[in-house]
Structure 1
């Protein structure tokens, strides 16, 4: 299954009051594993950058002034997103800004039915705990030492690792479920029931020590010079 993890950076909190999207970072997952395919872009917001927002992500209007408008890269972004489910942390915020930019460009909005919010997932998994990206990375042992400021692609990468852990860890993508299903379908008395389809069957091998093995072991122990365990006798 293909899924897209994404994050955004903006000029503020509310697109309805004139705030704009300035960065988006997307990570592709297939069967809960990163494929290495990403989409990342900065956008000229056509407005000033509030100091409070710049303090969070470090993106100045001087840096963004020569970047393309969102409308100029819509087709690339939509092609990358495809029809995959879209996962974000506090997803309503990110969907709100992307859809506001799409509306500004006269394009259809993203279907909210595609939305998966990791904050909502965390609230169900860890009620009463902190649900920020930093707090959850700490909980799941995800290294974020390189995260000095917020950045859309960096945060999407951290969120991808977090999402994988929150949905069962990396073993989800290792084919264990399909192997189990194949084994269950096999006859309980057949060799296939106890192994995966791609593993050769081997007859059970005896593992108990023979009389000769025991005799050799006793002779070896008898020849030890002052074994340590005799000090406790």
Structure 2
């Protein structure tokens, strides 16, 4: 027999807050978005070593100028050393002369300054001042044989040649062939020769100085 009773549809009475909708939080990540096992993700703003990232500083104009100045100074020093000459070479002294006084081109000489020439061992010399040959006396000839240590010796008013020190000198004084220098430029010539070869092999060297 057929059941003639009315049928009732059963409806879902769930509220909107209790529906079966799946949220994004429950959706698994795709395989290609998951980090690989064992790999590390570096945070932004760090270097590969783990320290904070540093920005490269550009050299300032001051540092560039200082560096260029130092390089130029070093170059000038090197060039100066390469082209420098010694005092003897600049003054033109011959090998037989160690030094002279007053120095060549000296411009602050007093009127009775001593003239001296220091020679290498084994050389003798004589002086000529402004064309006047100064008489020369050997020191051993002027000193008495019985001179005592510390005793004052009165030397002749000539040029004195000290063979022991290879030195010849002359001091202008009253009674000498030249008593003093006049103001202006004066020229000295030293004639020198090797003692064992004699005066016939003599050479000369000249220089000037100025008296105030």
Same fold per TM (> 0.5)?
A: no
Smaller-chain TM-score bracket: under 0.3
Q: Which has the higher helix share?
A: 1
Q: Which has the higher strand share?
A: 2
Task: Give TM-score scaled by structure 1 length.
Answer: 0.18
